[in-house]
Structure 1
Amino acid sequence: MHDVCCFLSQNVPTNIGDHQVKVQVKSCALSPVDFKLYEDLKFEKEHVPVGREIAGVVLQVGPKVTFFQPDDEVVGILPLDAEQSGLCSIVVTDEYNLVQKPEKVSWVEAAAVIKDGLRAYTALHTLARMAAGQTVLVLDGAGPFGVLAIQLAHYHGVKVLATASSPEDQTFLEELRPSVARVIRVWDSKQDLVDSCLEETGGLGVDIIIDSGVRLYEEEPEAQRHCPHKHDLLTLLSVGGHWVTTEQHLQLDPPDSHILFLKAASLSFLNDEVWTTSRAKQGRYLRGCVKGCSTKLKHICWLWACV
């Protein structure tokens, strides 16, 4: 068992690494802790830090840091193996885990949205390779992850269909027009998800599906009654389409795989923690920033300033 650690009492190191940044934390987000992921990655830690999404002011930078300088306002995500919690007043982390915070975004907003923003960017850009003119279906569009996916897709010229799980979610999503081309009422038994998507796309299906949970069997718990069945998503996926799933236990039977084969479609699993756990991905949050490119975390912060 792991203990959730809110505060760590050790002193902040006086000397920091070449590529490290010391940050005075102004705000942090208390996202749920995935203990199973810690076990899968074999992180044998007695205490697990919380509040990993932080926003704050740079106090000190290492001698080889190139992206930041003291007094810069930054936002970022502490890695899974971080020794400090975001609830500490001061944290030390690698510069690759941070990005500049736009002036018009508050401390609370920056810390609250950075993780879902990164998930949306990873799903649409890195995994689905979205392009202008495509159609994307965002399931549970009224959730934090769904809203950011909608905004990001719309900005890049992608037609967005979104599902609403309740009348309140429907009202909220309809207020996002023209970002959302159509709201599909999955809470209403009279409206069918597959028929609605095929009707909206002229029978061709959607190019990208971003789910927030999938029913693997006909009989599922009440909490998953609004989640689509995997067969429905395979049916409404277009030729050459891409399905990005958050369901880590998704099981595809041979007939399911055959449908993907016939459509030359593909399936990706969304694990946003890959960016902070994989050595091959380290540093790519800010890749291209020197050339003025808006990528990864930088792109998300830039998007906040535009929306």
Structure 2
Amino acid sequence: MKGLYCKSAVSDAEPKFVIQETTLPDALINHQVRVQVKACGLSPLDLKLLSDVGDQRDLIPVGREVAGVILQVGPKVTSFHPEDEVVGILPLDAPCSGLCDIIDIDEHYLVQKPEKLSSVCVAAALRDGLCAYTALHTHARMAAGQTVLVMDGASPFGLMCVQLAGYHGAKVLTTSHSPDTHAFLEQLRPSVGVQEPLVARVIPVYTGSDMLPLVLEETGGLGVDIVVDSGVRLQEENDRETDEDKLLPHKHDIISALGVGGHWVTSHQDLQLDPPDCRLLHLKSASISFLNPEVWTASSAQQGRYLHILKDIVEKMSAGVLRPQPQEALPLYEATVAMETVQRRMKQKAVIQL
């Protein structure tokens, strides 16, 4: 049985991904279940995070968002039975790759997959759904009637945030990075309920539009309650920035767009705030949270809440409330090249069908 792994020992160079043979133990222990994988999502590998938590393995398993069918259950498993369809995210210290035909995983990382939800769809979007829930519910405590600003709403993560915020009655503002994504966001409608636009205003940052005055215009000068970013610029524009970097919001613009008591959820790991930025946050009594979705599987302190979130995500996807953009499934023999592309671009996703 083969799986995809990352050679972490390669320093000062791009990570190298290789196919390796792997074996499973003869018997399952306690709460483990044996799953035949039907689809596996590929997300960028955070090697720095793995190093910080002490994962120093030479071969790091790749592919953690899995959907499949249970073949066998351990002696203490109570939640599942053979032939149940399940979906889940492998923990950081998982010994096997999600791209193996058959894997062993603890039952407490899995939830039932609705019958009409495809394995490819849920494996491709589960992580983005988890990030959206973590940002809007766990960190920002989103409530109906609030105004939410989502950066790059057409990205896989941004789209989940837009739909989740709209479903819970928030007023949604977002930015677009191209004419195509702008048109997509303008035409976005919920699949259930009143067919009104999900986004109150789409700000085309690719045209050079200044985001801050448009946000303040839309909110009557009060600012937004929640900002969710997918990256941020710490410095003013310079010649070394890529075109994608220039589309990211500046940290001071985000803070200025926050209203009194507002909350900024950032995915920027190395965010640095200057004293004027902190002063402005203090004046607004605003706060910042760092979005790290790995904390759910890295710590078992809130395992029940984590499983509740996963279950709600797949149920909303099955009902059409959360509709990820269609993702083309790739065959297993393209997994290495696909993962190299995902790792290089950092924001791209891929899904492998087994």
- TM-score in terms of structure 1 length: 0.93
Structure 2: gaps of 5 or more residues: 1-6, 10-15, 190-196, 321-354
CA contact (8 A) 2:132 2:157 kept: yes
Matched, 1:300 2:319: no
- Aligned partner of 1:161 in structure 2 is 173
Q: Note the C-alpha offset of 1:176.
A: 0.7
Instruction: Output the CA distance in 1 between the equivalents of 2:163 and 2:298.
Output: 27
Q: Note the C-alpha offset of 1:306.
A: 2.2
Q: Note the C-alpha offset of 1:19.
A: 1.7
Matches within 5 A, 1:197-276: 197-220=215-238, 221-222=241-242, 223-276=244-297
Listed one character per residue, the Cα deviations across residues 266-301 of structure 1 (whole Å, up to 9, x for unaligned) are: 100000111111232345322xxxxxxxx3111110
Deviates more, 1:211-220 or 1:109-118: 211-220
Q: Note the C-alpha offset of 1:260.
A: 1.1
Listed one character per residue, the Cα deviations across residues 85-141 of structure 1 (whole Å, up to 9, x for unaligned) are: 011111111112111112222111111001111111111111111001111011011
Matches within 5 A, 1:184-203: 184-189=203-208, 191-203=209-221
- Aligned partner of 1:285 in structure 2 is 306
CA contact (8 A) 2:67 2:87 kept: yes
Q: Secondary structure at the match of 2:207?
A: coil
- Aligned match for 2:80, one of 65, 68, 72: 68
Instruction: Output the CA distance in 1 between the equivalents of 2:57 and 2:303.
Output: 22
- Aligned partner of 1:2 in structure 2 is 8
- Aligned match for 2:200, one of 178, 181, 200: 181
- TM-score in terms of structure 2 length: 0.81
CA contact (8 A) 1:6 1:50 kept: no
Instruction: Output the CA distance in 1 between the equivalents of 2:92 and 2:64.
Output: 8
Q: Note the C-alpha offset of 1:10.
A: 3.3
Deviates more, 1:173-182 or 1:85-94: 173-182
Q: Which has the higher contact order (CA 8 A, sep 6+)?
A: 2
CA contact (8 A) 1:8 1:85 kept: no
Instruction: Output the CA distance in 2 between the equivalents of 1:81 and 1:12.
Output: 16
CA contact (8 A) 1:79 1:276 kept: yes
Q: Secondary structure at the match of 1:176?
A: coil
Instruction: Output the CA distance in 1 between the equivalents of 2:258 and 2:123.
Output: 34
Amino acid at match of 1:296: I
CA contact (8 A) 2:70 2:84 kept: yes
Instruction: Output the CA distance in 1 between the equivalents of 2:301 and 2:19.
Output: 30
Structure 1: gaps of 5 or more residues: 287-294
Q: Note the C-alpha offset of 1:229.
A: 0.6
Q: Secondary structure at the match of 2:63?
A: coil
Instruction: Output the CA distance in 2 between the equivalents of 1:303 and 1:152.
Output: 9
Matched, 1:100 2:112: yes
Listed one character per residue, the Cα deviations across residues 174-231 of structure 1 (whole Å, up to 9, x for unaligned) are: 1214211111111112x32111111111111111000011110103412310111111
Q: Secondary structure at the match of 1:152?
A: helix
- Aligned partner of 2:27 in structure 1 is 15
Matched, 1:87 2:99: yes
CA contact (8 A) 2:149 2:173 kept: yes
CA RMSD of aligned residues (A): 1.5
Task: Tell me how many residue pairs correspond in the alignment.
Answer: 298
Matched, 1:140 2:146: no
The ranges of structure 1 where at least 4 consecutive aligned residues each deviate by more than 6 angstroms after the TM superposition are none
Q: Secondary structure at the match of 1:187?
A: helix
Instruction: Output the CA distance in 2 between the equivalents of 1:149 and 1:300.
Output: 12
- Percentage of pairs with the same residue: 60
Q: Note the C-alpha offset of 1:65.
A: 2.3
CA contact (8 A) 1:213 1:247 kept: yes
Instruction: Output the CA distance in 1 between the equivalents of 2:114 and 2:216.
Output: 39
Q: Note the C-alpha offset of 1:67.
A: 2.2
Instruction: Output the CA distance in 2 between the equivalents of 1:6 and 1:72.
Output: 31
Deviates more, 1:174-183 or 1:110-119: 174-183
CA contact (8 A) 1:29 1:53 kept: yes
Listed one character per residue, the Cα deviations across residues 13-58 of structure 1 (whole Å, up to 9, x for unaligned) are: 2322222111110010122211111111120101011111110001
